[in-house]
Protein backbone atom coordinates (compact mmCIF):
# COMPACT_ATOMS: atom_id res chain seq x y z
CA UNK A 1 0.00 0.00 0.00
CA UNK A 2 1.30 3.49 -0.73
CA UNK A 3 0.69 6.34 1.71
CA UNK A 4 2.90 9.46 1.49
CA UNK A 5 5.53 9.32 4.25
CA UNK A 6 3.76 6.26 5.80
CA UNK A 7 1.33 8.69 7.49
CA UNK A 8 -2.36 8.31 6.60
CA UNK A 9 -3.31 11.79 7.64
CA UNK A 10 -7.07 11.29 7.23
CA UNK A 11 -7.55 8.02 9.13
CA UNK A 12 -4.68 8.48 11.61
CA UNK A 13 -3.11 5.19 10.55
CA UNK A 14 0.50 4.34 9.82
CA UNK A 15 1.05 2.28 6.72
CA UNK A 16 3.72 1.50 4.12
CA UNK A 17 4.98 4.44 2.08
CA UNK A 18 5.85 4.94 -1.60
CA UNK A 19 9.47 5.08 -0.41
CA UNK A 20 9.07 1.66 1.25
CA UNK A 21 7.67 0.10 -1.93
CA UNK A 22 10.51 1.47 -4.06
CA UNK A 23 13.21 0.53 -1.57
CA UNK A 24 11.84 -3.00 -1.03
CA UNK A 25 11.58 -3.63 -4.77
CA UNK A 26 15.15 -2.36 -5.18
CA UNK A 27 16.54 -4.51 -2.35
CA UNK A 28 14.63 -7.63 -3.44
CA UNK A 29 15.47 -7.11 -7.13
CA UNK A 30 11.78 -7.05 -8.07
CA UNK A 31 9.92 -5.05 -10.71
CA UNK A 32 6.43 -3.63 -10.82
CA UNK A 33 3.83 -5.24 -13.06
CA UNK A 34 4.61 -4.44 -16.74
CA UNK A 35 1.52 -2.26 -17.27
CA UNK A 36 2.29 -0.23 -14.11
CA UNK A 37 5.91 0.16 -15.23
CA UNK A 38 4.76 1.49 -18.64
CA UNK A 39 2.40 3.89 -16.89
CA UNK A 40 5.17 5.15 -14.57
CA UNK A 41 7.36 5.80 -17.61
CA UNK A 42 4.55 7.45 -19.59
CA UNK A 43 3.80 9.75 -16.63
CA UNK A 44 7.54 10.62 -16.42
CA UNK A 45 7.88 9.23 -12.89
CA UNK A 46 10.38 6.53 -13.95
CA UNK A 47 13.03 7.33 -16.56
CA UNK A 48 12.22 5.98 -20.02
CA UNK A 49 13.36 2.35 -20.31
CA UNK A 50 14.19 2.20 -16.59
CA UNK A 51 12.76 -0.25 -14.07
CA UNK A 52 13.34 1.91 -11.02
CA UNK A 53 15.26 5.17 -11.73
CA UNK A 54 13.14 8.19 -10.83
CA UNK A 55 12.97 11.28 -13.03
CA UNK A 56 14.41 14.30 -11.24
CA UNK A 57 12.36 17.01 -12.93
CA UNK A 58 8.66 17.82 -12.65
CA UNK A 59 6.66 15.61 -15.05
CA UNK A 60 5.16 17.53 -18.01
CA UNK A 61 1.64 16.53 -16.92
CA UNK A 62 2.18 18.26 -13.58
CA UNK A 63 3.96 21.42 -14.79
CA UNK A 64 0.86 23.01 -16.31
CA UNK A 65 -1.29 22.26 -13.28
CA UNK A 66 1.30 23.63 -10.86
CA UNK A 67 1.50 26.87 -12.90
CA UNK A 68 -2.28 27.12 -12.89
CA UNK A 69 -2.35 26.60 -9.11
CA UNK A 70 0.33 29.22 -8.49
CA UNK A 71 -1.48 31.69 -10.76
CA UNK A 72 1.37 32.07 -13.25
Partner 1 sequence: MSMRESVVTPESWGTLRKYTSARIALGRAGHSLPTAAHLEFQLAHAQAKDAVHLPLDTSGVARSIEALGVPTLLLQSGASDRLVYLQRPDLGRQLDFQSRRTLESWTLCHPREESFDVAFVVVDGLSALAIHQNSAALIAAMTSRLRSDRYASWSIAPIAVVQQGRVAIGDEVGQTLKANAVVVLIGERPGLSSPDSLGIYMTWDPRVGRNDSQRNCISNVRSAGLSVESAAAKLHYLLQRSRFLQISGVALKDETTAAQAVTEEPLDDAIAGPLSKFNDVLP
The 3-state secondary structure of the chain, one letter per residue:
CCCHHHEECCCCEECCCHHHHHHHHHHHCCCCCHHHHHHHHHCCCECCCCCCCECCCCCHHHHHHHHHHCCC
Q: What residues line the site for partner 1 (CB under 8 A)? A: 4-9, 11-14, 17, 19, 22-23, 26, 52, 54, 56-58, 62, 66, 69-70
Q: Rank residues 17 and 41 by Cβ distance to partner 1 and give the closer one.
A: 17
CB of 61 to partner 1, least distance (A): 11
Q: Rank residues 27 and 33 by Cβ distance to partner 1 and give the closer one.
A: 27
Q: Rank residues 8 and 36 by Cβ distance to partner 1 and give the closer one.
A: 8
Amino acid sequence: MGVPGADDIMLNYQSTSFHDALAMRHIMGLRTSPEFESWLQAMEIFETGSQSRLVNKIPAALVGRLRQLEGQ
